[in-house]
Structure 1
Amino acid sequence: MSTISGNVTGESRELILIVDDELRIRDSLSLALHSFGYRTIVASNVAQAIDAVRRSNVDLILTDLNMPGDTGLDLLHQVKKEDPTVSVVMMTAFGSIETAVSAMKEGAEDYLLKPVELGTLEILVNKILEKRHLRKENQRLSAENRALKENLDVRYHLASMLGTSPQVQELQKSIKLYLKVRTPVLILGEPGSQLSEIAQILHYNSPWSSNSLIQFNCSMVPGEFHEPQLFGIEERVQDGVRLRGAPGLVEKAHFGSMILSDIDHIEKRCQGMLSRVFNQKKTQRSGGTHFYEADVRIIGTAHEKEIEMRVRKNKFRWDLWEFMSDNVIVVPPLRTRKEDLPILVLAEAKRLGHFYGKQIQSVHPQVIEELSKRSFPGNYRELEALIETAVLSSQQSVLAWSDFKSVTEN
């Protein structure tokens, strides 16, 4: 078996094996691939090619379909047994296209028509090897994120927190900082960023995780109900009838945690009562004079621009903002961490696949390529919805771009 070595400048590129019984074709393809920046080795038959695969870390095989003795199809079958990750491209004359297409169904990546047009060759090889790189990077990210999750030591985790981007590493660092303290925390982020779920992580991994966790959405509940629901009602006599009192949610969360979603929308009078909880660890029921213990870890969530606007308009008390803004966890928008998409998409696809009884094992590189073009104004919620639609449509173990009907049709 002859070998041609190229002097590739910079980082060493992928290794391509050329298999053809004609010396002229092997040499011309090898020279062309060198000019594209790739390393090559050559073989004149299937036996030599298999030996090369065993001896070298081959990334891609360009093989003639019709050769004396064993054919390109025979090589494809043997290579997939030796190393299923190696990509194989069939080179064939016009009359053998049907056989080449059949080879793709059996695992070949693509095919090239002879005589090979060098422009087409470069585009195809670049595309295939970029996909291979993405698959390997996906595997690397999976391994790294397993280590990161173990390092965080959290029992309750989110797929949206996975990744190796600087933004998500800073998020993981901030979460770990506030796991063991009872300091009030403000979690800021855009809509769809799973702010309440991240707040749950802080509780479920705290020393008081066995105590109450109570959640209240300040923007969903009308303002007139905030005080009785959050701070309760004192027992009283009305029209000669004694009305029983009831503790509020803050009181019930004593020694536990309370998540106040959209905390900047809490009713103005309740903001003063909440300030007392922060400073005195006490609460007072509506209409009453007695104080009740309320050692509560408050975790607020808000959309960053909105809470700042409400502070400026005096709809959210400045002292509360000052108190909470010293302890902030900022959740980065998905559009700023697209390098995390491979692991995010795979993790969510597997989770939803398990939920719907489908065995999603991998994600086609085109999915990542196309999703990377989106700005994701809905952040992780938007990504989750897209993947859920695709998983429901998928009939294969590999999630393909064609499964994303709601995207491709638009």
Structure 2
Amino acid sequence: MLKSDAHILVVDDEESMREFLSIMLKREGYGVNVASDGAQALELLKENNYDLVISDIQMPRLGGFELLAQVMSRTPETAMIMITAFSSTEQAVEAMKQGAYDYITKPFKNEEIRLIVKNALERKLLKQENQELKKELGRRYSFGNLIGKSRSMQQVYDLIAKVAASRANILVTGESGTGKELVARALHYNSDRHEAPFVPINCGAIPENLLESELFGHEKGSFTGAIQQKQGLFEVANGGTLFLDEIGELPAMMQVKLLRVLQEREVRRVGGTRDIPVDVRVVAATNKDLEGEVASGTFREDLFYRLNVIRLALPPLRERRDDIPLLIEHFYQKLTGKKELHVSEKAMRRLLDYGWPGNIRELENIVERCLVLGQGEELSEDCLPANLVADSAGTEGQLSQIPDTGLDIDAYLGTIEKDILLKALDKTGGVRKKAAELLGISFRSIRYRLAKFGIEADGDEE
């Protein structure tokens, strides 16, 4: 939620407090109205929609508790923060039990208010997004975004239908761009957990020193910058599904801690002393060969077996070419709202012959490119990128069948992987970070892959 889009109501019988909060919040970019008590606040609530109400507890005419009850009954999506004196924190805790998001005790620090307001608005946005997703449940995630008539995709649909209602952890495997998060969402929204949150996190995108706090939360003062208590994503996902993308990038120490959570079904916040029970179904995803990682000692075997209760393997696009016309229609409709796109015979031949190293994500980007560069409602060969035309021209017959003498599949796939890495580095001037973004993988992943082939990159940036 952009600050300019957020509308806040400040309710306090002290004029100085109203002015102070109004000035500070407006400087932060929020839209602000003020009320001198709960009764005046109710009048404003009838006329305006507020994302957040900050209210004192002790006020004449209509106090904070009565206002909270009215807000929760009229517009439960509105977040509320209560203001109280230090000696009345028990009242504030009681207010949170009745639906308030958080409380602030007087005297308070400006930075504390800013952070609590920011978190309250972010939580409201997350709740709103979840509600919107639930409304679209039947349309979007009943396999609707998983497009394909190929036998391999029909097998994926069948397996999702069988295991969606299970409590078992699931490991989704497949190359980058094959739609692993779509599968995780389909599993969640077709399970009895669909009313609870679906919470995704990319394990390779968060610095190692912050990952534990993100997953398990932290207590106030547990480290520098921890100015208030924070729930981890396991707690946020309680009752629902936690999607751990790029699980193969999880550092060794975090693997140990995640294993404990999966075994005990409880978390302990950083700096905390008590264990918090959680009911979370974990769906993990990776584009790595985790068995190979286990064999090499970089991924814990016991954690692998905890995650790999049910394996759901997604086929790469090159192994389901019959689905390409369907996917093109789907992306065209998604991008334009129109149903029919004519694809020239030459363009379709190129698309069917191409190797698709970026899988479905790459195909969607190409459809979007052609809509920008093409003419009208036709996808022609002229709008296809040069590398696709060149690669598809040399793809036919590259491996039409397995030789009678056999095939070393690891060596063959290694050759292809190395070639793709070198092309990505060449395209990005040797900068590994940009090459990783180009290939849809994490920086840690491309560093590992390059080291595997002994490839050095110049001009790098961390």
Instruction: Mark the CA change 1:183 to 1:249 in structure 2 (over 3 Å): closer, same or farther.
Output: same
Measured in 1, the distance between the counterparts of 2:388 and 2:230 equals 54
Q: Give 1:314's aligned residue.
A: 297
2:387 paired with 1:402: no
Measured in 1, the distance between the counterparts of 2:273 and 2:388 equals 62
SS of the residue aligned with 2:267?
A: strand
Q: Give 1:98's aligned residue.
A: none
- Preserved contact between residue 217 and residue 261 of structure 1 (Cα < 8 Å): yes
Equivalent AA in structure 2 for residue 174 of structure 1: L
1:78-102: CA deviations, max 9, x gaps? xxxxxxxxxxxxxxxxxxxxxxxxx
Q: How far 1:233 moved relative to its partner?
A: 1.5
Residue pairs, 1:356-371, within 5 angstroms: 360-371=340-351
Q: How far 1:226 moved relative to its partner?
A: 1.1
Instruction: Mark the CA change 1:409 to 1:373 in structure 2 (over 3 Å): closer, same or farther.
Output: closer
Instruction: Mark the CA change 1:236 to 1:163 in structure 2 (over 3 Å): closer, same or farther.
Output: closer
Unaligned runs of 5+ in 2: 1-136, 391-462
2:287 paired with 1:303: yes
1:262-294: CA deviations, max 9, x gaps? 112223232222223222221111232201011
- Preserved contact between residue 254 and residue 294 of structure 1 (Cα < 8 Å): yes
2:250 paired with 1:266: yes
SS of the residue aligned with 1:251?
A: helix
Unaligned runs of 5+ in 1: 1-151
Residue pairs, 1:29-48, within 5 angstroms: none
Residue pairs, 1:5-404, within 5 angstroms: 155-156=140-141, 161-235=146-220, 244-305=228-289, 307-354=290-337, 360-404=340-384
- Preserved contact between residue 186 and residue 300 of structure 1 (Cα < 8 Å): yes
Measured in 1, the distance between the counterparts of 2:267 and 2:302 equals 18
RMSD: 2.8
1:59-94: CA deviations, max 9, x gaps? xxxxxxxxxxxxxxxxxxxxxxxxxxxxxxxxxxxx
Measured in 2, the distance between the counterparts of 1:158 and 1:321 equals 27
Instruction: Mark the CA change 1:227 to 1:365 in structure 2 (over 3 Å): closer, same or farther.
Output: same
SS of the residue aligned with 2:155?
A: helix
- Preserved contact between residue 350 and residue 388 of structure 2 (Cα < 8 Å): no
Q: Give the count of matched residue pairs.
A: 254
Measured in 1, the distance between the counterparts of 2:144 and 2:347 equals 18
SS of the residue aligned with 1:161?
A: coil
Measured in 2, the distance between the counterparts of 1:314 and 1:405 equals 41
Q: How far 1:257 moved relative to its partner?
A: 1.0
Instruction: Mark the CA change 1:255 to 1:329 in structure 2 (over 3 Å): closer, same or farther.
Output: same
TM-score (norm 2): 0.50
SS of the residue aligned with 2:194?
A: coil
Equivalent AA in structure 2 for residue 368 of structure 1: M
SS of the residue aligned with 1:344?
A: helix
1:126-166: CA deviations, max 9, x gaps? xxxxxxxxxxxxxxxxxxxxxxxxxx977415677322222
- Preserved contact between residue 273 and residue 283 of structure 1 (Cα < 8 Å): no
Q: How far 1:227 moved relative to its partner?
A: 0.9
Kindly indicate whether structure 1 or structure 2 has the higher relative contact order, using CA contacts under 8 Å at least 6 residues apart: 1
Q: How far 1:237 moved relative to its partner?
A: 7.6
SS of the residue aligned with 1:287?
A: coil
- Preserved contact between residue 142 and residue 190 of structure 2 (Cα < 8 Å): no
- Preserved contact between residue 348 and residue 387 of structure 1 (Cα < 8 Å): yes
Measured in 2, the distance between the counterparts of 1:242 and 1:394 equals 52
Q: How far 1:246 moved relative to its partner?
A: 2.2
1:12-49: CA deviations, max 9, x gaps? xxxxxxxxxxxxxxxxxxxxxxxxxxxxxxxxxxxxxx
Measured in 1, the distance between the counterparts of 2:366 and 2:222 equals 55
